[in-house]
Amino acid sequence: MNLSTFDIIFCDLDGTLLEDKKRHYECYKDIIIQYGGNPISKDEYWNGKRHKIRCDDLLKKSEFKESMELYRREWIQRIEQEKYLSFQILKPRISKVINFFKKNVKQVNLITMRKNKKNLIDQLTKFGIIESFDSIYIGTAESDNKKSDLIDGYYGKKTLTIGDSEDDMELAMKIGSSFLAVTNGIRIQEYLNADYYCKELEDLL
């Protein structure tokens, strides 16, 4: 892949630039313990997420005592709290990766379905990467929004979308973008139909 053939990059955050396993697991575990159940191990939980095992099946394995609706509501309320964001770390050599992007394309944009703008900005500032992006696109209060709802007007431009999920894949399709799938995030490669693949972004260096 020759980055210089692209003008614009749209890059996902969680699972792509940031390691997200522990944040996901700690949020899941706290909900299960509070409302009654037995959390499965972190490896089993994350394997289930990566292999697209349904949330209700994971909850059954966890002997969860309440409804799926309650779990989802608790998840949305908690997952962007500072407590859980504190479990995230930058993936290896991400600052160098972003600098590599900026040397080869005209514009590097961050696109994420995060909804708490303050906590997002605080986190990006802490990691020292907030100034690296030309634009930052974030989600809205509607939990069923997709990334493809956040941007428009890029179809036909030389764009590269980078991410680890079906949502990133759908965004690339909508704007006619090439898609680079990071296969060590929320989904295994089997579920990501991409033009390019890498296990982690540091592989590009």
* Same-domain status, 136 and 200: yes
Picking from 67, 85, 103, the residue at the C-terminal end of a domain is: 85
* Same-domain status, 14 and 49: no
Please give the pLDDT value at position 33.
97
Please give the pLDDT value at position 183.
98
Picking from 41, 61, 85, the residue at the C-terminal end of a domain is: 85
Residues in a beta bridge with 198: 182
The domain containing residue 116 runs over which residues?
Answer: 3-19+89-204
Q: What does DSSP assign to residue 205?
A: -
* Same-domain status, 7 and 104: yes
pTM above 0.85, yes or no: yes
Q: Alpha-carbon distance 88 to 78, whole Å?
A: 14
* Same-domain status, 181 and 154: yes
Percentage helix, strand, coil for the chain under 3-state DSSP, each rounded to 5 = 45, 15, 40
* Same-domain status, 137 and 77: no
* Same-domain status, 200 and 145: yes
Please give the pLDDT value at position 109.
97
> Could you read off the pLDDT of 17-73 as tens digits, one per residue?
999 999 999 999 999 999 999 999 999 999 999 999 999 999 999 999 999 999 999
Q: Alpha-carbon distance 41 to 181, whole Å?
A: 26
**Structural domains counted in the chain:** 2
Tally: H helices and E strands in the chain: 8, 8
Helix (H, G, I), strand (E, B) or coil at 10: strand
Name the token pair of 142: 């509607």
Can you say whether residue 52 is alpha, beta or left, with left for phi > 0 and alpha for psi between -120 and 50 degrees?
left
Helix (H, G, I), strand (E, B) or coil at 63: coil
* Same-domain status, 121 and 50: no
Please give the pLDDT value at position 141.
66
Q: Alpha-carbon distance 104 to 38, whole Å?
A: 48
* Same-domain status, 27 and 100: no
Contact between 15 and 162 under an 8 Å Cβ cutoff? The reply is no
> Could you read off the pLDDT of 123-180 as tens digits, one per residue?
999 999 999 999 999 987 665 778 988 988 888 899 999 999 999 999 999 999 999 9
Q: Alpha-carbon distance 4 to 48, whole Å?
A: 37
Q: Alpha-carbon distance 164 to 167, whole Å?
A: 8
* Same-domain status, 183 and 121: yes
Q: Alpha-carbon distance 95 to 123, whole Å?
A: 14
Please give the pLDDT value at position 143.
59
* Same-domain status, 175 and 127: yes
* Same-domain status, 194 and 94: yes
Picking from 69, 85, 101, the residue at the C-terminal end of a domain is: 85
* Same-domain status, 13 and 66: no
Q: The domain spanning residue 154 has which CATH number? A: 3.40.50.1000
Please give the pLDDT value at position 3.
93
> Could you read off the pLDDT of 76-95 as tens digits, one per residue?
999 999 999 999 999 999 99
CA angle 70, 87, 82 (to 5 degrees): 65
